[in-house]
Structure 1
């Protein structure tokens, strides 16, 4: 590559090369770091020169016969260039700020979405890992962890569904942790609180898969947690009900509150 090729940087930056010379220089530029670095330094100069319009050139030509006009024109050009450069700096800074803000928001959203637990409904959530034990637990623990609340064990003689409830009085009302076994599927179930005055409240619903829970097909018990604003002293019983496709219900097991 000749020295002339290295001197084509300015002509290329100003866009005065013909198409053939431009292609030849671009091939040279791909392998010459010196020309690439020089071209990078000329980008701001080319940007400033692009701000000079035809009227400015005409005014410069007139300054050959009027030195005072020359001074005024140079001052005007310098002011215009400073403003153009200042606008460019402001635009770059604004872009950095916006990009940084967006990056922070995206990073925050990604962090939140990766650490937040899945939403399990307002009143129902798993209270621990499923246990492989079938039948009603005999102790105050579930899955090896100490369970809060008074334990109530019930097996429905008609359906065979087994239920273990742990009932805890809270300032907000009553908390119920419970496990169910011998519960075949598929079916849709719900937990209903029956108050002393005969009124009822549905506090949770769930789906039972084909294998069921605590069955030969799936030995794991279903473990859930729910809560109600009703005080325990005002609760008569809890009912685990099945809901059919028409909305009709059938009680699978009844658990007394006391």
Structure 2
């Protein structure tokens, strides 16, 4: 960029550049923090001149006044006509001054200080999300007593044949039915699944999971297994839930059945 471009600051501030020179200077201003800083210092002067009425200047132009004074007033009129555009560009100029003089540390501080305080991202959930199995200890959140139970009606069952213990919390929802369940005395290794059986004897697999060799809620591993699932089937149309064991050939056998009254 030529030296002349750096000398156009005053002319630009007062609005005396033609359209072509104005566009050229604004392109230069976007990358030159020195010109931007100089332009910023002219704000008070331009602000004073912008308050002069244009009609008064026209009247003065038609009189035989001091040529120097006439020139100054005409410049003020042009500045008045252009002050809106000047203010928009001045915002860009100020940004160039700030960012041109910042160090990496200073910039990092500005970014950090601009963040809104105490903003914490919260997890979201919905009926369409897959059921995510999770393991908790017997005294974990949502398991018994004063720590609070999952929502829904509680159903407790112990299978007389397998010995598997199940506690189900079944909740009616607009989307169908939500179920949280806890399993214990569940030996492994094995693959299991949860099936919902409807009143019309149709069924649907809601969730599948693997049981490690130590099992859950056993002498080897005292930790009970806590899982969640959902179905579009209304609660009133559910006959029972059933936890099944599935062998390598895909053949399922019941481990515990939970009737829904």
8 Å CA contact retained: 1:188, 1:242: yes
* Counterpart position of 1:226: 229
Q: How many pairs align?
A: 171
Structure 1 runs not aligned, ≥5 long: 1-50, 53-76, 134-139
* Counterpart position of 1:130: 137
Q: 1:256 aligns with which of 250, 255, 259?
A: 259
Distance change (3 Å), C-alpha of 1:156 and 1:227: same
1:44-193 → structure 2 map (5 Å cutoff): 77-79=3-5, 83=25, 86=29, 87-89=31-33, 93=96, 122-125=129-132, 129-131=136-138, 142=144, 144-147=146-149, 148-193=151-196
1:169 deviates by 2.2
1:123 deviates by 4.3
How far does the alpha carbon of each residue in 1:101-147 deviate from its partner, in whole angstroms, 9 at most, with x for none? xx97xx99xx99x955599x9243568943169xxxxxx96263343
Q: Secondary structure at the match of 2:32?
A: helix
8 Å CA contact retained: 1:127, 1:177: no
Distance change (3 Å), C-alpha of 1:206 and 1:128: closer
Q: Give TM-score scaled by structure 2 length.
A: 0.51
8 Å CA contact retained: 2:136, 2:225: no
State how far apart, in whole Å, the 1-side matches of 2:220 and 2:134 are: 22
Structure 2 runs not aligned, ≥5 long: 9-24, 34-91
Q: 1:239 aligns with which of 233, 239, 242?
A: 242
Distance change (3 Å), C-alpha of 1:93 and 1:241: farther
Q: Which stretch of structure 1 is more off in the superposition, 124-133 or 199-208?
A: 124-133
Q: Secondary structure at the match of 1:211?
A: coil
8 Å CA contact retained: 1:187, 1:208: yes
State how far apart, in whole Å, the 2-side matches of 1:166 and 1:252 are: 18
Q: Secondary structure at the match of 1:217?
A: coil
8 Å CA contact retained: 2:195, 2:203: yes
State how far apart, in whole Å, the 1-side matches of 2:160 and 2:97 are: 73
1:176 deviates by 1.6
1:17-36 → structure 2 map (5 Å cutoff): none
